Amino acid sequence: MAFGRRRITLPKTKAACQKLWDDATPRKLAKGYLTVAGDTELHIEYGVFTLKFHGHDIVKYLDGYKTVYGGGYSTSPTTQGRITSATGASMHSNGKLGYEQTVRIGGYPFFDGIRVDDYGQVLEEDRRPDFKQVNVKAVVSAYTTLFKRIEKLIYGRYELGEWADGTYHSMSAQWDALLNIEDQLATGDAFPDSDDVRTLLSTSVRTDLRERLTAVKEALRDKYYARNNGYERIEVTK
């Protein structure tokens, strides 16, 4: 029969720490600290209890609240689990939201020194705003339009086999070719330079024209957006 991991319960308040300390036998306190879980110790200095995990401070217990630290390992699931147990505030990583700070505690961005009250709520003054990077719609539209124009203008020549060879070029060369073609189209030229097109199409995708252009479009997207201020940092409100 398989057994799951034993759930770790840690003290969530200064009073709970004090009770553990007072109830501990002299033998358990012989080293000057109290082991409360695997690699997890409760220390006290100048009346302040500190929870250490692998020797790193992660929670300090004060009157009515705790201060929380990642100890350099805030993204570690085990560190997050210890902090969750000690504070009552769920701590985890979530990159799906798109936030700049993917580590969350109590639903808010984590930072070293963030405070959580004895009820597991992040103190209001420590609830920092969230930011995420989004794409600027005008730049997204311009990039899509550019590749649609390229496809339309070279389709016939491509079907006639003008770029049948599979010469390989680096991404930087593809990028330069794209900029050259963009400049040509901006002047009204409807006949993109053959060498530039050949370089642009040098991809491992060897199917039809649209799939080849799609592969190149994906590979160069970030460079295009960065060059044209296509990313915007915005504050996310709940």
pLDDT digits (tens, 9 = 90+) for 25-62: 999 999 999 999 999 999 999 999 999 999 999 999 99
State the pTM of this model: 0.64
Q: Tell me, yes or no, whether 116 and 147 share the same domain.
A: no
Q: Tell me what percent of the residues of the chain surpass a pLDDT of 70.
A: 94
Q: Tell me, yes or no, whether 25 and 121 share the same domain.
A: yes
Q: 90 lies in a domain?
A: yes
Q: Tell me, yes or no, whether 24 and 108 share the same domain.
A: yes
Q: Tell me, yes or no, whether 24 and 90 share the same domain.
A: yes
pLDDT at residue 237, as a whole number: 64
Out of 63, 98, 128, a domain closes at 128
CA quadruple 219, 221, 226, 230: dihedral, nearest 10: -170
Domain that holds residue 107: 14-128
Number of structural domains found in the chain:
2
* Residue appearing with tokens 């097109």: 197
Q: 70 lies in a domain?
A: yes
What mean pLDDT do residues 3-25 have? Answer: 85
Confidence of residue 205 (pLDDT cuts 50, 70, 90): low
Out of 128, 160, 193, a domain closes at 128
Q: Tell me, yes or no, whether 121 and 211 share the same domain.
A: no
- Strands (E) located in the chain: 34-37, 40-45, 48-53, 56-62, 65-68, 91-93, 103-105, 108-109, 114-117, 130-135, 231-236
Q: 172 lies in a domain?
A: yes
| Residue 131 Cα to chain centre, angstroms | 12
Q: Tell me, yes or no, whether 121 and 199 share the same domain.
A: no
The predicted-structure confidence for 112-170, as pLDDT tens digits, reads as follows 999 999 999 999 999 998 888 889 999 999 999 999 999 999 999 999 988 877 667 78
